[in-house]
Amino acid sequence: MKSHRFFLRFWPLAVIILTLPVSLAAYFLSAAPDRGVYGVAEEGSVRETVFVQGLFLYDETVVKATEAGTFSSSRTDGTAVAAGEECGVLKRLNNLYGDPLETLKAPREGLFFRRTDGWESFFNRDMIASLDGGDIFDLYTETSEEPASFLRAGDDCFKIVDNKKDVFFYADIGAMNVKRAEKVRLSIGKEELSGKVEALYGKEGRRFALVRLAPTAVCYERRFAEAGWLIDNFSGTVIEAAALKKRWGDIGVYCEEEGKLHFRKVDVLCSDGKKCVISGINPGEIVFFGKR
């Protein structure tokens, strides 16, 4: 069982060091809200993550209604279809002499989706370059409304997404120092994806990266996504991010020295939100987290 080391101050008792399983240590801490919680600075590494927003762009084909009518789908979103397979029926309203029912089939192999959002044509890189980068994020909105069953001629019935070709992720990277052809790793949900920066857009201060990714199921769950851009592993003295405190504008930690707390200014080299690599203290030093 994984253990964690906590340092508890019982006033006016001295510091008592307990090495306990996580669940048991948590019990003692929850039962003693006035006790101080301490930790040990350790030698280790942290992978820095910057969270970015982006849109997935795929090679998509939209099937439109040839006439006004009601469309009934025979597929559910995300199901795989082969070229020529039936995807639904359009009941045409104005066909007085022929069969009012038109069977609509998949024009290509891929994944079926009933809902369209108007961004199906932006798989083309030239289309992306023609827009100001910020416009894509300012204009894009997601809807939870169900697609209308009644369609006019030319309205979208469904689309087929090619899930064999690479996927593009168009990301708002802000002022991040990213280079073209750079290999990147993205964390989306529980998946970690590897890709390469195909192109960069925008100006200094707000830039946008077009990242090529291998097709993965998580890419098709939704158009808009927040991704963790995994920068690199930093090695050094690691502490819990909760131990960082601010005093008079300086970032630092309170270290235990001869039974007293002393503020030590530190530099944060890397953080993943939970742990951070810092300079200014050494591994093995006792660090104050706060009161419970």
- Check residues 100 and 183 and name the one with the higher pLDDT: 183
pLDDT at residue 142 tops 80: no
3-state SS assignment for residue 110: strand
Judge whether 29 and 138 are in contact, CB under 8 Å.
no
Judge whether 101 and 92 are in contact, CB under 8 Å.
yes
Instruction: Residue 91: name the closest of 157, 17, 44 by CA.
Output: 157
Can you name the residues that pair with 252 across neighbouring β-strands? 245, 265
pLDDT by residue (tens digit) across 269-289? 877 778 888 888 889 888 888
The CATH architecture one would assign to domain 3-44+235-291 is: Beta Barrel (2.40)
Question: Would you state the pLDDT for residue 136?
Answer: 66
State the Cα–Cα distance between residues 62 and 119, nearest whole angstrom. 11
Judge whether 163 and 56 are in contact, CB under 8 Å.
no
- Residue 132's pLDDT band, with cuts at 50, 70 and 90, is low
- Check residues 280 and 7 and name the one with the higher pLDDT: 280
- Residue 178's pLDDT band, with cuts at 50, 70 and 90, is confident
Question: Would you state the pLDDT for residue 16?
Answer: 38
Most confident of the following: 105-114, 120-129, 132-141, 266-275: 105-114
State the Cα–Cα distance between residues 245 and 247, nearest whole angstrom. 7
Domains 3-44+235-291 and 59-118+145-161 share a fold: no
Range in 77-81, 200-204, 214-218 the model is least confident about: 200-204
Q: What is the distance of C-alpha 142 from the center of its chain?
A: 16
- Residue 29's pLDDT band, with cuts at 50, 70 and 90, is very low
State the Cα–Cα distance between residues 23 and 17, nearest whole angstrom. 16
DSSP 146: P
**Domain residues of the chain, as ranges?**
3-44+235-291, 59-118+145-161
- Residue 161's pLDDT band, with cuts at 50, 70 and 90, is very high
Question: At 62, which amino acid appears?
Answer: V
pLDDT at residue 165 tops 70: yes
Over residues 135-144, the mean pLDDT reads: 66
Q: In angstroms, what CA-CA distances link 178 with 48, 233, 234? A: 15, 16, 18
State the Cα–Cα distance between residues 287 and 253, nearest whole angstrom. 7
Topology annotation, domain 59-118+145-161: OB fold (Dihydrolipoamide Acetyltransferase, E2P) (2.40.50)
- Average pLDDT value over all residues in the chain: 80
CB within 8 Å of 93: residues ≥ 6 apart: 67, 68, 69, 70, 100
Question: Would you state the pLDDT for residue 73?
Answer: 92
DSSP 147: P
Judge whether 159 and 121 are in contact, CB under 8 Å.
no
Question: Would you state the pLDDT for residue 258?
Answer: 80
* Residue 180 burial by Cβ neighbours in a 10 Å radius (0-12, 13-18, 19+): exposed
Over residues 120-148, the mean pLDDT reads: 69
Structure tokens at 112: 């079926």
pLDDT by residue (tens digit) across 47-89? 778 888 898 998 999 999 988 999 999 999 999 999 999 999 9
Ramachandran angles phi, psi of 217, nearest 5°: -55, -40
